[in-house]
Structure 1
Amino acid sequence: MNKAAPQVDDLHKLRHSLAHALAQAVLKLWPGTKITIGPPIDYGCYYDFLFETPISDADFPVIEKEMRKIIHQGQTFRSETLKTSDAKKFWNQRKQPFKVELIEDLVKNEGVKTVTHYANIGPKGEETFVDLCRGGHIENMKDIPADAFKITSLAGAYWRGDEKREQLTRVYVAAFASKKELDEYLQMMEEAKRRDHRKLGQELDLFTFSELVGPGLPLWTPRGTLLRDLLDGYVWELRQARGYQRVTIPHITKKELYETSGHWQKFSQELFRITTREGHQFCMKPMNCPHHTQIYVSQQRSYRDLPQRYAETTTCYRDEQTGELHGLSRVRSFTQDDAHVFCRRSQAAEEILKIWEIVDTFYATVGFGKLRVRLSLHDPDAMEKYLGTPEMWQSAETELRKIAIDRQADFSEAPGEAAFYGPKVDFIARDSIGREWQVATIQLDINMPERFNLFCINEEGAEERIVMIHAAIMGSLERFLSIFIEHHAGLFPLWLAPVQVALLPLADIHEHYAHEVETMLKNVGLRIHYMDHTESLGKRIREGEKLRIPYLLVMGDREATDRSVAVRNVQTKKQVTVPLEQFVERTVKDVQERKLVASIG
């Protein structure tokens, strides 16, 4: 009888247990290795090691073989609670300094007096491996399907994400409840490599990085800037139709602004700080909401003036650790399509629903299907992480929940995922290879109005506290574009393609007609790339396909005579010949209507 596969709910425990098997295998194969941490993650687990001699992917089969031995032995787990002093002694004796440091930090930061060890127990009752761990394991290693995991990659990782500390080797393992799920994941990862936005960004000449400028600071080329502007322009079009006004703020601020907002206390490690020549402390803004409050309070507001809707696309700065930077997904300078609505409590639901409409419209237009909705709530057992009182949080969360129910949204709830100043509605997009990404967000904030004393004068002439709604449609443009590029594999909808049409005359005698076509297309606003006949037609077609130009127009004798164009659709790989005027009319219509798929060919 086949053993039932572990349920999805058990995957966290399975992956956590497998991380212990990985560390145990590595220590057996390389006894002098220093071990650090090994958490479960989406799709598997990893463990960070300090090896005496480097390992490579050639070592993966050896490690996997040892891990399978551990699984087949049917090792179990046994927990033990130790005083921190005894635990430090235990790890010092085993010459594992990173574990000692972890315990010391727990004592210093959390005031713990005891820690938990989990030991792997072999078939004869012997301890085969011990780790510093809070637990969450399967009962027996045999519950891990031996054919449903695979070591996938190595990566460098600084200890604690600090580039001044030791550089470790991170070993990643993919792990699932069945071999079928593992195979599907590995296939997805192969496709993800092909779509990697870092590779496509270079190939399509969208963005670059410079060592002289610094890590995490992307530089946008003309083509990449055009793509950003088209997307941002569409967001603004949707906002402008709903009464938003543009504002502009500086990129630095006095320390006091963020002390008032709470960011200085809650966000201090991620702030780029500046000291002026007079000794005053400033910082580069990590977000925009505190600045926008100061525009609101610059005038006395009547209830008749509300809602006030401010929108701005502007760059923010966060001092991310070097080891956590990744392409456009995690950067130090990022641009937000940020908006803040200042309104009465009674107006909040209507304003949130308007933003929700923008989110749904935008993501449908740029090619994502139905978004999943998550209410990100506070953790009532960790109020020290948040501003405000439990009552304020409960009130705001109840309001968001009611809005989601009234909209008949299919939503989940995630305690502990709220921003420190308020609960939020997070929208989750699924890309074309099945990965999920958190994209847009709407936050209901009742803390910032308290801290900045935001009010309006109501019908009775009295001050009335208002609420503040934070809304980002793309969020960080950089992160959104990393998702968008990979979702479309660089072949963007026609209206967003930096170059929409390439012109390929067959020979000298066709140049005159090709230039006539070029002028006609440019006059109607299409973006053109002229590819003269100095290279062979086949090479030019391959180049156009590599650049993901939606339409390649080939022009020879027949086309020049008939005033037509041979249209090669790069997405469908089909070629049709159509009258020039028909091509222009249909293409302009597709662009104006923001069609997802080029309709010719």
Structure 2
Amino acid sequence: MSEENLYTFENEAYRKTYWHTCSHVMAQAVKRLYPQVKLAIGPSIDSGWYYDFDADFSFTQEHLDAIEAEMKKICKEKLPLVRSEKPRAEAVAYMESLGEPYKVELINDLPEDAVISFYTQGEFTDLCAGPHLDSTGRIKANAFKLTQCCGAYWRGDSKRKMLQRIYGIAFPKKEELDEYLQKQEEARRRDHNKLGRELEYFTTVDVIGQGLPILLPKGARVIQTLQRWVEDEEEKRGYLLTKTPLLAKRELYKISGHWDHYLDGMFVLGDPHDETKECFALRPMTCPFQYQVYLNRARSYRDLPMRLGETSTLFRNEDSGEMHGLIRVRQFTISEGHIVLRPDQLEEEFKHCLDLAKYCLGTVGLLEDCTFRFSQWDPANPNNKYEGTAEQWNEAQEIMGRILDDLGVKYTVGFDEAAFYGPKLDIQYKNVFGKEDTLVTIQIDMLLAERFGMEYTDQNGQKVRPYIIHRTSLGCYERTLAYLIEKYAGALPLWMMPTQVRVLPITDRAHDYAQEIVDRLRDAGIRAESDYRSEKLGYKIREAQMQKIPYMLVVGDRDMENQTVSVRTRAGVDLGAMSVDDFRAKCRAEIDTKARD
């Protein structure tokens, strides 16, 4: 990077240093206004910063406005930030004297040889490794904003105290802040957690539980449409359909390794530690179940590759603080599949898996915004997260790296992001607020076949272990639906929409004709309905547009006489009159080609 860009927001290190300094300014403002509040942590993040506080009151918008005003004063005071270091005992005593128990805990948890540093600005001193700007005056007083306050468990542990987290954002220029806030407003408008509920795609109910959404008829229809399409596409590509149980005895998970590596993320029915009693667990993934299909009888090299696919319902005990609409849930449905293959088939089958994923994501319109992450292991293997030898891991990662390079896939490396049994390609997607999650994975597994005793007879009559690819086609359907709602602001492409056409009769005389049109459209596989309410036509058109229905067919006396329909789109475009057959053919062409608006 050129010298002139070192101290601009183009430089990520400078940008995060700027935001980190803002977090300290915010903490200083809070302590000035509310001295009794205790400080926790305040890092920079990908989109600004946050600071966690322990307060005996709830921060409201009025509090945030007051904190912002005090921050502006601190910026105008141009306080220098001065770094200092203290021995452990002195550092603990100092924070105890300030009445900051969370800082004391952080100091005590530092390694013995850690340098314990502090930053002071005016009367305020905070435990921090830095770096920081040299003065609070570097922060533009009219170009930052405190954006929200929410709950956050201390150190992310649901068993610890719930703190209050205040988020903020800042830029070098007010115009950049205004542009960012405008984009955030658009993001809130598209947020599936708001829009999906307003459009009645899903809801949540307290007595059912967090992370357990109810798909309403519209949402259920979209997911059914996607599932049927993916299952049909997989069948075309040689996949065998399976249907396996939703739970199993702990013994199955012990064989697979999930009991040792994933127990905290599972819903267990019974005492997991009492070996004298039967214990079951809901499945967090389908692989150990689908392997039983392969193990049902002896296999030859001629049987491979065996491509097994299933629309799987899975259960994962996510932390309550991680729940978010349809994106992060505890029960979800996934287009899961496993390919059992010979080593010489690995490269070709991996390519096929990637091609299928790209086809599915491209068809629904998400691929253009996806990124690719090559998730690898940590050779240090902390907490025994990974199984297998270094040689096995290096071989698997070398093969995957070569495949990705041959395919020209542009990827980043996700260190320590691999599954416990092998490396994977994660296809990543960001929601409207910039939070990234995995949409699709393709994993190479050289280990679990041995755990399950899976083998085949090769050309020489020898028993050989197969390789396995774990993969998804479209990933989690609930998460995909969330991203689709956000991408299209609820106006999904015609082929996905739960209601594709609404017929609007102008008078009671046109009711029978409207029903005839609905029947003819439904016979062609088009999801159509009529609105017979005694409301004004303009009201019914606006309501249909608000519900994002792609086409409205207005029918009156002239249409009955001419056997036509007057076609309007949800975008407000009047397409004029056309015959029912012509409109039906137009819809079918859009649906069959899975066209996007």
If the length of structure 2 is used for normalisation, what is the TM-score?
0.91
Per the alignment, residue 285 of structure 2 pairs with: 287
State whether residues 23 and 42 of structure 2, in contact with CA within 8 Å, keep that contact through their aligned partners in structure 1: yes
Measure the CA separation in 1 of the matches of 2:8 and 2:520.
Answer: 62
Is the 1:427–1:438 contact (alpha carbons within 8 Å) kept by the matching residues of 2?
Answer: yes
Aligned equivalent of 1:527 = 527
Give the equivalent residue in structure 2 for 1:323.
321
1:93: which partner in 2?
97
1:182-233 CA distances to partner (integer Å, 9 max, x unpaired)? 3332222111111121222222222121122111111112221111011112
Alpha-carbon distance between aligned partners in 2 of 1:574 and 1:50, rounded to the nearest angstrom: 57
Partner of 2:12: 9
Is 1:46 aligned to 2:50, yes or no? yes
Distance in 2 between residues matched to 1:318 and 1:457, nearest whole Å: 36
| Mapping 1:45-124, distance limit 5 Å | 45-72=49-76, 73-78=78-83, 80=85, 82-83=87-88, 87-103=91-107, 106=109, 112-122=111-121
Range moving further from structure 2, 536-545 or 389-398: 389-398
Q: Is the 8 A contact 1:7 1:177 kept in 2?
A: no
Q: Tell me which residue corresponds to 1:218.
A: 213
Give the Å deviation of 1:471: 0.8
Residue pairs, 1:170-569, within 5 angstroms: 170-176=165-171, 178-275=173-270, 279-370=277-368, 371-382=370-381, 384-429=384-429, 438-569=438-569
Alignment match, 1:128 = 124
Alpha carbons of structure 1 residues 234 and 380: separation in structure 2 relative to 1, 3 Å: same
Asked if structure 1 preserves the Cα contact closer than 8 Å seen for 2:84 and 2:119, the reply is: no
Q: Is the 8 A contact 2:50 2:166 kept in 1?
A: yes
Looking at structure 2, the residues matched to 181 and 219 of structure 1 have their Cα atoms a distance apart, in angstroms, of 39
How far the C-alpha of 1:499 sits from its partner, in A, is: 0.4
Q: Bigger shift: 26-35 or 67-76?
A: 67-76
Residue 412 of structure 1 aligns to a residue whose secondary structure is strand
- 1:582 corresponding residue in structure 2: 582
CA offsets, 1:108-136, max 9 Å, x none? xxxx33555442233xxx662212x4545
Partner secondary structure for residue 545 of structure 1: helix
Report SS of the residue matched to 2:145. strand
Amino acid across the alignment from 1:231: L
Distance 1:181 1:309, change over 3 A: farther
For 2:317, give the aligned amino acid: D
TM-score (norm 1): 0.90
Letter in 1 for 2:343: R
Change in CA separation of 1:481 and 1:575 when aligned onto 2, cut-off 3 Å: same
Which shows bigger deviation, 408-417 or 425-434? Answer: 425-434
Alpha-carbon distance, 1:12 to partner: 3.0
Query: How far, CA to CA, are the matches of 2:133 and 2:564 in structure 1?
Result: 68
Instruction: Report the equivalent of 2:34.
Output: 30
Q: Which moved more, 1:340-349 or 1:457-466?
A: 457-466
Summarize the Cα distance change of 1:78–1:8 in structure 2 as closer, same or farther, 3 Å threshold: same
Give distance in 1, aligned partners of 2:283 and 2:352. 27
Gaps of 5+ in 2: none
The amino acid across from 1:482 in the alignment is A
How many Å separate the matches in 1 of 2:270 and 2:433? Answer: 47
Unaligned runs of 5+ in 1: none
Asked if 1 retains the 8 angstrom alpha-carbon contact of 2:424 and 2:441, the reply is: yes
* CA displacement at 1:138 relative to structure 2: 4.7
Residue identity opposite 1:67 in structure 2: M
1:268-298: CA deviation from partner (whole Å, max 9, x where unpaired): 2222111179722222111222222333233
Q: CA deviation at 1:24?
A: 2.4
CA displacement, residues 154-203 of structure 1 (integer Å, 9 cap, x when unaligned): 11223345555433211011234654443332222111111121222222
| SS class of match (1:525) | coil
Q: 1:485 to 1:298 in 2, by over 3 A?
A: same
Q: Deviations over 1:530-583 (max 9, x none)?
A: 101411111111211121111011111221121111111003544422222110
Residue identity (%): 37
366-375 vs 542-551, which deviates more? Answer: 366-375
Are the structure 2 counterparts of residues 386 and 86 from structure 1 closer, same or farther at C-alpha, using a change threshold of 3 Å? Answer: farther
CA distance in 2, matches of 1:441, 1:559: 51
Cα offset, 1:592, TM superposition: 1.5
Cα distance in 2 for partners of 1:225, 1:385 equals: 37
In the TM superposition, what is the alpha-carbon distance from 1:55 to its structure 2 partner?
Answer: 2.2
- Whether the 8 Å contact between 1:499 and 1:549 is mirrored in structure 2 is yes
Q: Distance in 2 between matches of 1:102 and 1:250?
A: 45
Q: Distance in 2 between matches of 1:140 and 1:388?
A: 51
Q: Contact between 1:25 and 1:63, CA under 8 Å: does it hold in 2?
A: yes
SS in 2 for 1:95: coil
Which stretch of the first structure deviates more once superposed, 57-66 or 464-473?
Answer: 57-66
Between the aligned partners of 1:481 and 1:291, the Cα distance in structure 2 is 26
Q: CA RMSD in A?
A: 2.7
SS of equivalent to 1:567: strand
Change (3 A) 1:564 1:434: farther
The code of the aligned residue for 2:469 comes to I
Q: Deviations over 1:427-458 (max 9, x none)?
A: 23467898865422211122323433433222
In structure 2, C-alpha distance between the alignment counterparts of 1:23 and 1:437, rounded to whole Å = 30
| Secondary structure of the structure 2 residue equivalent to 1:495 | coil
Judging changes above 3 Å, is the alpha-carbon distance between structure 1 residues 318 and 67 closer, same or farther for their aligned structure 2 residues?
same
Query: Residue 26 of structure 2 contacts residue 67 of structure 2 at CA under 8 Å; is this kept in 1?
Result: yes
Report the alpha carbon displacement of residue 88 of structure 1 after superposing the two structures with TM. 4.2
Mapped to 1, the partners of 2:385 and 2:86 lie a distance apart of 27
Q: Residues 343 and 127 from structure 1, CA distance in 2 versus in 1: closer, same or farther, beyond 3 angstroms?
A: farther
The separation in 2 between residues aligned to 1:242 and 1:79, in whole angstroms, is: 64
Return the letter of the residue paired with 1:271. Answer: M
SS at match of 1:376: strand
